Amino acid sequence: MFTMAIPERSAAQVVVALSGHSKEDADAVFGVLHACYPSGPATDAQPREEAEGHPTVWSATFEVSGARQELAPTPLGAPLTADLQGGPREVEQLRDVLATAFAVRDEGRAAGDQERELHLRLESR
């Protein structure tokens, strides 16, 4: 029997996956989140250009703890899809932060005992 070791994720961590047409828009969303929350080394890289003809997803993990700040509206060139996954309280807190900078529309939810997933559409306010 083969088992794979999967690294533990802190309860305060939320994984954010963005899909859209522009790395600049993804960068704008991650910039808003970086302003509020520290993140691990995997999220320090800038989003890369998308491969032509293929869907692109940019992802980062954020440590959602401590006080957050109110943010000014941030423009996007086009709508983005955001998928958030983590602890229920942390996912909702990160969603609220996004709502201070963008128009956020809930497009789906899945909830478990200890984890929540949100599917959101982000647009300029």
Q: Is residue 108 part of a domain?
A: yes
The answer to the question of residue 26 being in a domain is yes
Tell me what percent of the residues of the chain surpass a pLDDT of 90.
57
Q: How confident is the model at residue 71 (pLDDT cuts 50, 70, 90)?
A: confident
Q: Which two tokens stand for residue 118?
A: 């949100």
Split at pLDDT 50, 70, 90, the class of 88 is very high
> Residue 64 domain-assigned?
no
Angle, helices 88-101/23-36, rounded to nearest 10 degrees: 120
Global pTM value: 0.81
End-to-end CA distance of the chain: 52
Q: How many domains does the chain have?
A: 1
In a domain, 32, yes or no: yes
Q: Residue 37's pLDDT is what?
A: 85
Q: How many CB atoms lie within 10 A of CB 87?
A: 18
pLDDT tens, 3-57?
444 445 566 899 999 998 889 999 999 999 998 886 654 444 455 555 666 668 9
Residue 4, in any domain of the structure:
no
Enclosing domain of residue 106: 14-37+71-124
